[in-house]
């Protein structure tokens, strides 16, 4: 995206150009200069291996030929169960180019979660590693569609050696001429509400992502850009906010080291590899925020950072300016329609608490259940007008759930309901309040948990928090905070009161947590989002158990 002088200019000059024929695997591989570096893979010994686009094309051609030889047909599902790794990218390229459908899977899934997704999708192939091949072996007799498992680090538990198998195949392959509307990706929701649903995306979703990605990365790409994210490529954020767009634009990206994010190592990592474009989820930012004197200790130079998945709040935003040296561009999206809201800090200054404005090319409104727009400043359901190239096609094998996701209003307009409660001000700034079932109704007040959590994290003793509404006979619901304290802090009645008074003075008397519970961990989805629903259900169960005593 060429730099613009304002948000309005970005919106005005945007035009969708969706070709009838488009293949994501070709778009992220063949159109680039084959000698350019695509991936930088840090090694355990401190060196780094570089992969050019030509390297990836040859490897992906071999894999595509091997999958065709295994009998896969156009439209078959092929799963990738790998952490960030060169072979992960190779598998994406090969599967798209061969006309199959990619099924990304998270390596921390247990056997039950894997069985559900593999069985529901009817996946015929899994590309994985030894550690995860053992999980597949445990459930393989319950997966009648699964015909082939390839392991990138040697054969194990019924999995064949990835490299030995593809070495037998040619490094020449003619990509399938797919329609832009043809399915290419099946990615399951993280399951914050109900069981996971497979969101089926067309090849054109890559084009649909680009205006939002280019905005939130401050007119991406720029000369010298090097991208990185600790977010897993199994999720829409890590995959389509960084990995796929970077390949599409020919920008080198650094593969994230395996294991849990070490905040001090992350600062050193950014400095060593010259990373200047980063997607850092809120959980990662909160960890990095605990590192003292980062700017004095490491010579990193970030050009642009964005975050999404949970509201950041003013405290994290202020820390970002002071420590990261940039305005963190907040963004919003979901598996079904990603990066549809965002900021561009170099030309936009969002009001405190806002996650941004509609990304170029996307028509967003705040609607009621009938699909009618609510007055500005009123809570409602953030909705996306059809058609939209970033939007999913349908839920896999779930026509009922697909129908519930859309509404047609009296004017005949069709909209996709995100299910997230927001409000939009007169200038189009969008403020996230919470999932529809996260909003707290207390004594007639509607309270968004994100605002209270933002206030809590500003308290010097609080590391992380989650706020929910729990049943209350007098108020309907009362605000309860679950709090993880910073290292060295000890729970006490005095600290509880200090935290409550802190929120009272910063927000309002009706919003402070009337109940505080100190915990050592919070229930999180595999994408790092707090599962408030789990906390509410626990509280209801506790009340019911107490009532029976």
Distance of CA 500 to the CA centre of its chain: 32
Label the pairing between strands 277-279 and 329-334: unpaired
| Main-chain dihedrals φ then ψ at residue 530, nearest 5 degrees | -70, 130
Query: ∠396-402-405 over CA atoms, to 5°?
Result: 140
Quick check: is 489 in a domain?
A: yes
Give the 3-state DSSP-derived string for 25-66, with helices as H, strands as E and coil as C: HHHCCCCCCCCCEEEEEECCCCCEEEEEHHHHHHHHHHHHHH
- How does DSSP classify residue 145? T
Quick check: is 452 in a domain?
A: yes
How deeply is 94 buried, as exposed, middle or buried, from its count of CB atoms within 10 A (0-12, 13-18, 19+)? buried
pLDDT of residue 159: 98
Quick check: is 295 in a domain?
A: no
Report whether 315 contacts 286 (CB < 8 A): no
Quick check: is 33 in a domain?
A: no
Instruction: Round to whole Å and give the CA distance between 138 and 112.
Output: 10
What does pTM read for this prediction?
0.84
Quick check: is 459 in a domain?
A: yes
Quick check: is 470 in a domain?
A: yes
Tally of structural domains, the chain: 1
pLDDT of residue 98: 98
Quick check: is 184 in a domain?
A: no
Quick check: is 495 in a domain?
A: yes
pLDDT of residue 215: 98
pLDDT of residue 192: 44
Task: Note down pLDDT in tens along the chain; length 549 residues.
Answer: 889 999 999 999 999 999 999 999 999 999 999 999 999 999 989 899 999 999 999 999 999 999 999 999 999 999 999 999 999 999 999 999 999 999 999 898 888 889 989 999 999 999 999 999 999 999 999 999 999 999 999 999 999 999 999 999 999 999 999 999 999 999 998 644 456 899 999 999 999 999 999 999 999 999 999 999 999 999 999 999 999 999 999 999 999 998 889 999 999 999 999 999 999 988 889 889 999 999 999 999 999 999 987 667 788 899 999 999 999 999 999 999 999 999 999 999 989 889 999 999 999 999 998 899 999 999 999 999 999 999 999 999 999 999 999 999 999 999 999 998 899 999 999 998 776 667 687 765 657 787 788 789 889 999 999 999 998 876 778 999 999 999 999 999 999 999 999 988 777 677 899 999 999 999 987 667 788 888 988 988 888 777 654
Q: Count Cβ neighbours within 10 Å for each residue of 127-145 and write b for 16 or more, e otherwise.
A: bbbeebbebbeebbeebee
Report whether 229 contacts 24 (CB < 8 A): no
Give, in order, the Cα–Cα distances in Å from 353 to each of 283, 321, 371, 442, 449. 17, 15, 26, 21, 12
- Beta bridge partners, 440, equal 447
CATH number, domain containing residue 461 = 3.30.300.30
DSSP secondary structure letters along 300-368: ---SEEEEESS--HHHHHHHIIIIISS--EEEEEETTEEEEEE--TTT--PPTT--BEEPTT--EEEE-
Instruction: Round to whole Å and give the CA distance between 296 and 51.
Output: 32
- Beta bridge partners, 358, equal 341
Domain that holds residue 522: 445-548
């Amino acid at each position: 995206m060429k730099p613009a002088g304002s948000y309005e200019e970005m919106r005005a000059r945007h035009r969708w150009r969706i070709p009838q024929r488009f293949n994501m695997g070709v778009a992220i591989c063949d159109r680039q200069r084959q000698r350019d570096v695509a991936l930088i893979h840090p090694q355990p010994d401190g060196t780094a291996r570089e992969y050019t686009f030509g390297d990836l094309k040859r490897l992906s051609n071999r894999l595509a030929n091997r999958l065709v030889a295994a009998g896969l047909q156009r439209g078959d599902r092929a799963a990738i169960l790998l952490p960030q790794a060169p072979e992960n990218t190779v598998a994406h390229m090969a599967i798209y180019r061969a006309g199959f459908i990619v099924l990304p899977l998270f390596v921390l899934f247990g056997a039950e979660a894997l069985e559900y997704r593999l069985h529901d999708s009817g996946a015929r192939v899994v590309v994985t590693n030894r550690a995860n091949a053992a999980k597949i072996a445990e459930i393989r007799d319950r997966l009648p569609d699964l015909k082939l498992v390839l392991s990138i680090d040697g054969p194990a538990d019924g999995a064949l050696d990835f490299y030995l198998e593809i070495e037998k195949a040619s490094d020449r392959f003619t990509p399938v001429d797919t329609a832009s509307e043809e399915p290419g990706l099946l990615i399951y929701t993280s399951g914050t509400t109900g069981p996971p649903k497979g969101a089926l995306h067309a090849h054109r979703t890559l084009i649909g992502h680009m205006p939002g990605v280019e905005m939130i990365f401050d007119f991406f790409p720029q000369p010298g850009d090097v991208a990185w994210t600790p977010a897993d490529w199994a999720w829409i954020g890590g995959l389509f906010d960084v990995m796929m767009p970077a390949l599409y634009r020919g920008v080198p990206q650094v593969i994230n080291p395996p294991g849990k994010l070490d905040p001090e190592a992350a600062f050193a990592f950014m400095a060593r590899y010259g990373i200047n474009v980063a997607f850092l989820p809120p959980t990662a930012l909160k960890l990095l925020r605990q590192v003292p004197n980062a700017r004095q200790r490491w010579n990193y130079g970030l050009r642009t950072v964005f975050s999404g998945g949970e509201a950041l709040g003013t405290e994290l935003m202020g820390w970002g300016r002071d420590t990261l040296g940039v305005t963190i561009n907040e963004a919003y999206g979901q598996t079904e329609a990603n990066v549809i809201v965002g900021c561009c800090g170099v030309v936009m200054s969002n009001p405190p608490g806002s996650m941004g404005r509609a990304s170029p090319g996307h028509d967003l409104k705040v609607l009621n259940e009938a699909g009618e727009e609510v007055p500005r400043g009123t809570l409602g359901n953030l909705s996306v007008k059809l058609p939209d190239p970033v939007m999913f096609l349908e839920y896999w094998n779930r026509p009922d759930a697909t129908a519930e996701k859309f509404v047609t209003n009296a004017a005949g307009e069709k909209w996709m309901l995100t299910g997230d409660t927001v409000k939009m001000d007169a200038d189009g700034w969008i403020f996230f309040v919470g999932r529809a079932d996260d909003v707290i109704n207390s004594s007639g007040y509607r309270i968004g948990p994100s605002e209270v959590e933002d206030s809590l994290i500003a308290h010097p003793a609080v590391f992380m928090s989650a706020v929910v509404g729990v049943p209350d006979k007098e108020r309907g619901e009362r605000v309860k905070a679950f709090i993880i304290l910073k290292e060295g802090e000890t729970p006490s009645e005095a600290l509880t009161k200090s935290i409550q008074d802190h929120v009272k003075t910063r927000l309002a008397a009706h919003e402070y947590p009337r109940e505080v519970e100190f915990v050592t961990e919070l229930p999180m989805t595999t994408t790092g989002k707090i599962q408030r629903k789990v906390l509410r259900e626990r509280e209801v169960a506790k009340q019911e158990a107490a009532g029976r005593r």
